[in-house]
Structure 1
Amino acid sequence: MKYLYSAGLLLATLAAPVLASAAPFQPNNIVVARVGDGSAALTTAATAVFLDEYTPAGRLVQSVALPTSITGNNFPLTANGTLTSELILTRSADGRYLVLTGYGTAPGTTVFNSAATDVARVIALIGADGSIDTSTSPGADAFDGASIRAAVTADGSSFYSVGSASGVRYQAFGTDTSTPLAPAPASVRAIGIGANNNLYLATTTSPYLGLSQVGTGLPTAASTVAVLPGFAGATDSSPNSFYFADLSADVPGVDVVYVADDRTTAGGGIQKWSLVNGSWVLSGTIAGSASTAVRGLGGRTVGTTVTLAATSAGGLFVLTDATGYNVAPSVVALPTAVATPGTNKAFRGAAMAPVVLAPTITSFTPATGAVGTTVTITGTNFTGATAVSIGGQAISGYTVVSATSITLVVPASVAASGPLTVVTPGGTATSTTSFSLALAAAASQALPGLALYPNPATDYVQVSLPQPGAATVALRDLTGRQVLAPQALPASQRLRLPASLAAGIYLLEVRQGSETAVRRIEKK
């Protein structure tokens, strides 16, 4: 049973329903974390949190409220209304989720310097489909008396979290304990996963000031934190969120990083760094202003063009840098904000909207089978599949076993061989090879009264139907290979046998209405 830090929370958990979902997010939109509902001035107490989805032009698409009470196994998620370093929003490395952190308590509760045994720290996982899960907590020994600022995930199965204390923590989804990976630096402002699947953090703590890498790859045990070469000398920087991009074919892995620097003096804004000869070099800065402290940052890369979404407490800024690797950004200063939060509200983190990944089919087994055969489809991103078909013929009884596996039983409604197709909210996948529908070697006795003559036959077979109505016919060899494609039986009820058809035993499939009969015929 999940430990919820107090008996009251535990009782509420056992009695509560399941957490609801928002509408699906739209690709290429921007999501901003907002604190406050506008009803009162922001204070240091726990305050309601929202995710605002905007188009790049700044049109509000939807506002999604994070829970403010316990629902099922899910915590509330609120934030300190005035602490600008909280609510850093990240997108998962695979692009399917957003991750946000906060406090597991109702609005109005004192959260500043609160004990983690009294107020749980919470990690929210928000899916591209709008689903929200706040069942994960780093535990009572993490961020105790401190704020939790950010977390990131590779694929929704585990998290790395950071805050004003406790260094970097690691845990599985849905758990209430976490493992310390790197106790120093203790205070971390932001954490992210680069396109090279390495883990990075931003801090103002010496000697780690700037950006650092945590271990190698995505660590799950104690790891060393190493300042990225070139950042060690940036003693006057104030880094927050960051976005890595791979813009040069000549430099392996990520080679450009944009960093939100919340200074309101020279050097503040969005810095662009490039990896040159193994060391990070400042290529230029998109300047902020005396009234604009940039902390939230998300990005999207297409070719060598990077679209950035940045936030200050008072605005959302959208800009494009197309200059590429190791060149100063094409924008010299932040443009006019495309959106503002409104009175008694404030923006915090920003990220590109999560997306549902398109499915792929890598294989299926068996390659051949008759009606009633169980087929297993293997691939990726099958979660939420809405349709499966064989040769364009819909299968109603399929089962999504996991994100990588679907099983189905070939129904009698499938009349022909063909490729397998899986449809999900993320797109459509079609197999590169066809499933071959085999008929049983024994004739079926469906459609009693059906007569075939002459049999053996040379040029044609007369198909005498047991009742009036249209019918389709097809011919297969004894292995199930189709030798005559399905066709409507002519009014004469005479099926011509191609002269090229070799002599032998065949299976004639006759479908009328909902019934399908199989009869053996001999071609002379």
Structure 2
Amino acid sequence: MNYFPTWIRSISLLGVAFGLASTVVQAQTVRPFTAGNYVVVRIGDGSAALTSAATALYLAEYSPTGTLVQQVPLPVASASPNLALTASGSATSDANLTRSADGRYLILTGYNAPVGLSSVTNSAVATTNRVVGRIAADGTVNTTTRISDAFDANNIRAAASADGSTFYAVGANGGVRYLPLGNTGPTTALSTGNPTNLRSINFFGGNLYVGAAASGGYGVLQVGTGAPTSAGQALTLLPGFPKDSGPSSFNFFCTDQSSTVPGIDVVYVADDRTPTNGGIQKWSLVGGTWTLNGTIASATAALRGLTGKVTGSVVTLVASGAGGLYTINDNAGFNAAPTTTTLPAALVTAPANTAFRGVALSPVATALATRTTTSQGAEMTTFPNPAQEHVIVRLATTSAGHTAEIRDLLGRLQRTRVLPASGQLDLTGLPTGTYLLTVDGRLTQRISKTE
């Protein structure tokens, strides 16, 4: 039920349409996100040109047809327990967006700075803490998590999470940082060696990956194994990606498209070079080496945000750049050039004096799966259920090394994987429906996969 009078709702709609007043946008009632929609970070309220000063951020939710559903404002001033979360209006590498591996939260980073603070990316971290924001499927905003010991006088760019309780953050210096929800200052420096200048981070197939375009890696690198929590984690460049020079890599989306290659075997990478070589690269894991299959070319739009979903044999990519939001389909499959070779027209363009940054699929509200029996429930739980891209398997002992099998309801084997320590099991590539998940041949639960 909408409790606002008709004339107030009309004013709000006009304000959004013209992108003029942040106060109008912030007055809107935040609703739960709708599963299957796209959420893009929008910087600026449209009232003035973007500069390097701290600027207000909004999460703009769009339907797959490009209809604006709502805009969720992030705090522009600290009000306990939440902190302000703003970003530079001109730092195009910042404000990337991810969805937690369990699908329940959107994650992004920024600065605990009031709107208007000049050159916010150059601010001292001790006085202008960096902030990790977590936004739930019901629209609840949590910006209680701060960083006081990394990304000093430089950019914080992105964060990822398995389930919204802990985070991994990256930026222009400092490597990969690990911290819990509600962190009050210092963090754990996870990674060692180059590159320390990182642009993006996310979970796929039970492992943590980062995107970089610096000495030590121009593409995608794996961070240790599983979901690491201790210092000394190696950053391992995926074999085949260039080490010393190459693409201007930003966000990436990984899928499992081959039944003969274990784990993720296709990676799409946003490359912001224009007017030549930029777009979305497609890489496949062939004989243990990642091979470039081709590029969805973009001569004018510098793409940096990227996410996607898999429906049967079709991969739908959702990309974002400063000026627009784009959707692209690729049904070529493993180790084949993408079926789309040129970036199509934007699904949505950013309003005047605003810009789009990161993009992710809408978060979904989930609950623990119903346990098959009391004894099995004590030994194994799964979440989220229903799931979209991944399901987390929790066992009474460590999840690492256990064999998981997914069968359809007729008993036909669909997938076999050895579980990592994180317990994350990749579901990408499976059609929507209900399946039987069996671990070590004895523990079985029903799981459902949705789009």
In the superposition, the TM-score normalised over structure 2's length comes to: 0.75
Q: Is the 8 A contact 2:307 2:318 kept in 1?
A: yes
- For 1:370-389, list aligned pairs within 5 A: none
Q: Is the 8 A contact 1:143 1:164 kept in 2?
A: yes
Closer, same or farther: CA 187–154 of 1 in aligned 2, 3 Å? same
> CA offsets per residue over residues 342-380 of structure 1, 9 Å max, x none?
1110000111111123552115769xxxxxxxxx9x966
- Give the CA deviation at 1:72: 1.8
Give the match for residue 90 of structure 1: 98
- Asked whether the 8 Å contact 1:210–1:234 carries over to 2, the reply is no
- Corresponding residue for residue 134 of structure 2: 125
Q: 1:366-405, aligned counterparts within 5 Å?
A: none
Among 263, 273, 283, the residue aligned to 1:273: 283
Mapped pair 1:45 → 2:20: no
**C-alpha distance in 2, partners of 1:212/1:225?**
6
Show CA shifts across 1:282-311 (max 9, x none).
11110001x210000011112321111101
Letter in 2 for 1:308: L
1:299 to 287, 300, 308: 308
Mapping 1:182-197, distance limit 5 Å: 182-183=191-192, 184-194=194-204, 196-197=205-206
CA contact (8 A) 1:305 1:320 kept: yes
Partner of 1:264: 274
The CA distance in 2 between the partners of 1:305 and 1:267, in whole Å, is 24
User: 1:158 matched to which residue of 2?
Assistant: 166
Q: For the residues of structure 1 that align with 2:358 and 2:246, how far apart are their CA atoms? A: 22
1:112 aligned counterpart, secondary structure: helix
Cα RMSD (Å) of the superposition? 2.3
Give the Cα separation in 1 of the matches to 2:130 and 2:291. Answer: 36
Q: Mind listing any 5+ residue stretches in structure 1 that lack a counterpart?
A: 1-19, 367-375, 384-402, 405-428, 430-524
Kept in 1, the 8 Å contact 2:199–2:211? The answer is yes
One-letter amino acid matched to 1:271: Q
Paired residue type of 2:335: N
Match of 1:239 among 226, 249, 252: 249
Aligned residues of 2:217 and 2:244 also touching (Cα < 8 A): no
Q: Which amino acid aligns with 2:361?
A: M
The one-letter code matched in structure 1 to 2:167 is: F
Q: Is the 8 A contact 1:359 1:379 kept in 2?
A: yes
**SS of residue matched to 1:212:** strand
Q: Deviations over 1:94-142 (max 9, x none)?
A: 111110100011101121310011111000011111111001112x211
Please say which of residues 304-313 and 80-89 is displaced more in the overlay.
304-313
Instruction: Report whether the alignment pairs 1:230 with 2:245.
Output: no
> What are the within-5 Å matches in structure 2 for residues 33-72 of structure 1?
33-72=41-80
Q: How far did 1:165 drift?
A: 0.8
Q: Which structure has the bigger radius of gyration?
A: 1
**Counterpart-to-counterpart distance in 1, 2:29 and 2:381:** 27
Amino acid at match of 1:240: F
Please name the residue that 2:157 is paired with: 149
Aligned pair count reads 354
Per the alignment, residue 223 of structure 2 pairs with 214
8 A contact 2:110–2:130 mirrored in 1: yes
User: Cα deviations across residues 164-205 of structure 1 (Å, max 9, x unaligned)?
Assistant: 1111100111112210011432210111111x1111111111
Among candidates 346, 359, 379, match of residue 337 of structure 1: 346
Distance in structure 2 (CA, Å) of the matches to 1:308 and 1:229: 24
Structure 1: distance between partners of 2:370 and 2:223: 35
- The aligned amino acid for 2:256 is D
Separation in structure 1 between the aligned mates of residue 191 and residue 269 of structure 2, nearest angstrom:
22
Residues 171 and 279 from structure 1, CA distance in 2 versus in 1: closer, same or farther, beyond 3 angstroms?
same
Contact 2:33 2:364 in 1 (8 A): yes
Instruction: Determine if contact 1:193/1:199 at 8 Å carries over to the other structure.
Output: yes
Candidates 282, 298, 311, aligned match of 1:288: 298
Other-structure match for 1:322:
331
Percent identity reads 49
Q: For the structure 1 residues 329 and 172, does the alpha-carbon distance in structure 2 shift closer, same or farther, using more than 3 Å as the test?
A: same
Summarize the alignment of residues 92-107 of structure 1 with structure 2, pairs less than 5 Å apart.
92-107=100-115
The amino acid across from 1:107 in the alignment is: V
Corresponding letter in the other structure for 1:49:
L
Partner of 1:30: 38
Q: 1:101–1:219: structure 2 CA closer, same or farther, 3 Å change rule?
A: same
Corresponding residue for 2:415?
none
Structure 1 distance, partners of 2:117, 2:41, is 20
Contact 1:21/1:132 (CA < 8 Å) preserved in 2? no
Structure 1 match to 2:371: 362
Distance 1:365 1:213, change over 3 A: closer
Q: 1:31 to 1:277 in 2, by over 3 A?
A: same
Matched residue, 1:80: 88
Q: 1:239 to 1:382 in 2, by over 3 A?
A: closer
How many Å separate the matches in 1 of 2:275 and 2:115? 34
Q: Take 1:280 and 1:338, find their aligned partners in 2: how far apart are those partners? A: 31
Cα distance, 1:266 vs structure 2 = 2.8
Mapped to 2, the partners of 1:234 and 1:280 lie a distance apart of 16
Q: CA deviation at 1:57?
A: 1.2
Structure 2: distance between partners of 1:381 and 1:216: 21
- Which secondary structure does the structure 2 equivalent of 1:337 belong to? coil
How many angstroms does 1:51 deviate by? 0.4
Q: 1:382 to 1:322 in 2, by over 3 A?
A: closer
Seen in structure 2, the aligned counterparts of structure 1 residues 356 and 206 have a Cα distance that, compared at 3 Å, is: same
> Relative contact order, CA 8 A, sep 6+: which one is greater?
2
1:152 Cα offset (Å): 0.3
* Letter aligned with residue 346 of structure 1: A
Matched letter for residue 232 of structure 1: P
The normalised TM-score by structure 1 is 0.65
Alignment-mate amino acid for residue 299 of structure 1: G
SS across alignment from 2:371: strand
Alpha-carbon distance in 1 for matches of 2:226, 2:372: 29
